[in-house]
Amino acid sequence: MSLGASLFLIAVGAILHFAVTATLAGIDIQVVGTILMVIGGIGFVISLYFYFANRRAAPGPPPPPSATYR
């Protein structure tokens, strides 16, 4: 999950949890919003971990110059 998708899930979950007052039979909209916010938060943390892990892995030193390129 990308950072943008995680932020989108958090935003949609917050809207469902705090702003929507409609009721549906058998579905609690506020609980659905909370679940989406939690999933988005977990995805955001995982995305940040992979982002910084890839930035930390620097390539090794450059290879020595070859004798053919003089």
Q: What is the full DSSP assignment across 1-54?
A: --HHHHHHHHHHHHIIIII----BTTB-HHHHHHHHHHHHHHHHHHHHHHHHHH
Each residue's pLDDT tens digit, 21-66: 888 888 999 999 999 999 999 999 999 999 888 777 667 787 777 7
Q: Does residue 51 fall inside a structural domain? A: yes
Q: Does residue 67 fall inside a structural domain? A: no
Contact 37, 17 (CB under 8 A): yes
Q: Does residue 44 fall inside a structural domain? A: yes
Q: Does residue 70 fall inside a structural domain? A: no
Residue whose token pair is 């020595």: 64
Residue 17 domain boundaries: 3-56
Domain count, the chain: 1
CA–CA separation, 53 and 34 (whole Å) = 29
Q: Does residue 63 fall inside a structural domain? A: no
pTM recorded for the entire structure: 0.74
Q: Does residue 62 fall inside a structural domain? A: no
Q: Does residue 66 fall inside a structural domain? A: no
